[in-house]
Structure 1
């Protein structure tokens, strides 16, 4: 029964993560193709990407979620409140075709981006509270797979829907997907779906300052080592993936083939690798998985660098794309899973928001630096620098792997043992 309940929760959280991934990808990565057709300049399209900035401030958006308790089961209530606001925005943006109205479209996209970013906090905080620690690495892999699938749906399928059914259709579909995921939440709350008693739990309602929350996060065993890994493990391979489409175009591949290879094939491989990577963590152990996944990412990036440098041809370029997508999926699953692990049960929103902001800052900064390197050194030089950065991240991972794995094992062990004299976090939704 417990296994079926956990599987149902994983499916629900995966669906909601997918529903929240699609709108941002559609508006900020899919829509520029349509914008170009309607005469938007490159500068206008570039400035439009500033609508993604709310993700940088997720640590601030987490503050009201953590501190303003909307009754029993307040995380579910936060999800429903923000979800309702998001549905209203879908209705407003779908009323009129805004593709030729720069400022209104940017304002609506910024508002949707803010709500999607905000909803991500109670959603994944709820995953920490409702799922046992032994399921959280799997939850990270499912979330990673949802993001890859979101790239396929938002960056491809929704554009086809808009072309055939009109401006409003994608927003109706995205609204329906959100409703399907949100409707079971009140029922689950009433049934008191919950996780085991938390480790080192604090009584509900314990008040601390915002700074004390952050200090408490870094006081966890191996939290500082994990933070350095969080900052360095993904940005280099993420930057390489971002520049893969223009790289292929400059290598002479037609646009449709590039879209299929990177968007469809790459997204599918990344999603499968995320799911398999999550399961392999249990086989390899956290310490070995950290090193193995980053080593695989480095080898994939080296393969791409050599392919471009030596001009090995299209077949090797395709092989590099598949290898890069697979390693990126595995690394993403590991990063998301450990982010949940290092979110304390009574400080889930603030801990998750802080880690997400740190992750986003380096993920956004790396492509900017890579673009400067591209202009000065070309693709081979840029990729070589990214390889060097990833090598440093791998060396760091080798050094901190045992500390991070030991902290994860402590959390699992403490969960298996009953906690005496504390109030369970499962009072979330209980009288």
Structure 2
């Protein structure tokens, strides 16, 4: 098998195992919570356990600057991934009736170490993949997120319904052990020093002095949250409209995720120079998908809900693939971890705040009102992108990644 294929397959498997537990926590568990009488506001507050991902820019600093001489990113991934594993096992020891505070604390711990482990893994991917492979790498990163959603947001729900609270956490912990073991096959080599040791604030300021980096930062905040929020609250929406829990798991958790994964992979075959040009079209599909789901929620038609779910999955697949690919493009040589952490923090900040706000809007205005407001936000983003149709991303073509190999 060609070496690039091995690279993509290996990092796809690692990212899948790191992602699936988090998706079960953020997308799967809201269904279980709703079944046990949690309100929309309580589910929204629970989403705040994902706040450590907002501070990824700070968590990236020790990964960037405190590096062992050999295999620095791999060693950081093993350390943080091991703590992630312990957090999942602690959650397995609890249950839905253990108390909301205890669940929140251990979910917060899992979120912290999942966020931290993501940094060295993806910094290593940026280091290993040459520029021509980055669009496909971004699409595979997005596709395995959907694959994680099939397991974390679908299969694990069926496992929980059949075997109880602890079973999904033990299975997901097993996937994580596999991921940590697979990292042993990555031949990273010696640490690559940053071109210049600068203060964190100076490094962040220099990032935003790059061409179009400020515009890209604004898009990271607002481009993805409308479809992300709709996806998070899709399962409670289907449940509230009379679908059984098992049907919801199959429709949204498995069917929607398969469609999103296939769409992500298709987006990966876009030419590298067309990534930015695809953003306006993706933003338009985002607005249409969320608006259609709002209409379907108001009408209550099962057929419209299924159609809206399919379109939302397509929108999510394209949006996440473009976001991951462009984040790789904007990560500067020698500052892979720091620049990835900064962009990911901006990206996550918009999603987490929007998810918490959506819970309050859901209790106050219902599903149609909440989704209608986020459809309006998606349309606004689409219009703002249209004001500046050309983005100067061509400058990233000359950036070079430090090459390494996979044994």
1:397 Cα deviation after fit: 2.0
Correspondences of 1:113-152 after superposition (within 5 Å): 113-152=111-150
Please say if residues 128 and 405 of structure 2, whose CA atoms lie closer than 8 Å, have aligned partners that are also in contact: no
- Equivalent residue, structure 1, for 2:98: 101
- Equivalent residue, structure 2, for 1:412: 397
1:246 Cα deviation after fit: 3.6
**TM (normalized to structure 2)?**
0.87
Q: Note closer, same or farther for the CA distance 1:327–1:382 as it changes in structure 2 (3 Å cut).
A: same
- Equivalent residue, structure 2, for 1:199: none
Structure 2 residue 311 is matched with structure 1 residue 323: yes
Q: Note closer, same or farther for the CA distance 1:270–1:287 as it changes in structure 2 (3 Å cut).
A: same
Alpha-carbon separation, structure 2, partners of 1:193 and 1:64: 17
Correspondences of 1:296-375 after superposition (within 5 Å): 296-308=285-297, 311=299, 313-374=301-362
- Structure 2: gaps (5+ residues): none
Alpha-carbon separation, structure 1, partners of 2:35 and 2:362: 26
1:325 Cα deviation after fit: 1.1
Query: Which residue of the other structure, out of 268, 272, 280, is the alignment partner of 1:291?
Result: 280
Runs of 4+ residues over 6 Å off in structure 1:
36-44
Please say if residues 129 and 403 of structure 2, whose CA atoms lie closer than 8 Å, have aligned partners that are also in contact: no
What per-residue deviation string (whole Å, max 9, x for no partner) do you get for residues 285-309 of structure 1? 1233112222222232333344455
Alpha-carbon separation, structure 1, partners of 2:404 and 2:110: 32
Please say if residues 48 and 356 of structure 2, whose CA atoms lie closer than 8 Å, have aligned partners that are also in contact: no
1:414 Cα deviation after fit: 4.5
More moved, 156-165 vs 339-348: 156-165
Please say if residues 75 and 122 of structure 1, whose CA atoms lie closer than 8 Å, have aligned partners that are also in contact: yes
1:92 Cα deviation after fit: 4.9
Query: Which residue of the other structure, out of 192, 203, 227, is the alignment partner of 1:213?
Result: 203
Alpha-carbon separation, structure 2, partners of 1:218 and 1:107: 34
Alpha-carbon separation, structure 1, partners of 2:167 and 2:80: 22
Alpha-carbon separation, structure 2, partners of 1:328 and 1:233: 11
1:352 Cα deviation after fit: 1.1
Q: Note closer, same or farther for the CA distance 1:39–1:203 as it changes in structure 2 (3 Å cut).
A: closer
What per-residue deviation string (whole Å, max 9, x for no partner) do you get for residues 139-163 of structure 1? 2211212222222211332244355
Q: Number of aligned pairs?
A: 405
Alpha-carbon separation, structure 1, partners of 2:85 and 2:29: 20
The CA RMSD measured in Å over matched residues stands at 3.2
Please say if residues 129 and 425 of structure 1, whose CA atoms lie closer than 8 Å, have aligned partners that are also in contact: yes
Query: Which residue of the other structure, out of 151, 155, 158, is the alignment partner of 1:157?
Result: 155
**TM (normalized to structure 1)?**
0.82
Please say if residues 93 and 108 of structure 1, whose CA atoms lie closer than 8 Å, have aligned partners that are also in contact: yes
Query: Which residue of the other structure, out of 383, 386, 392, is the alignment partner of 2:371?
Result: 383
Q: Note closer, same or farther for the CA distance 1:385–1:26 as it changes in structure 2 (3 Å cut).
A: closer
Correspondences of 1:262-281 after superposition (within 5 Å): 262-279=252-269, 281=270
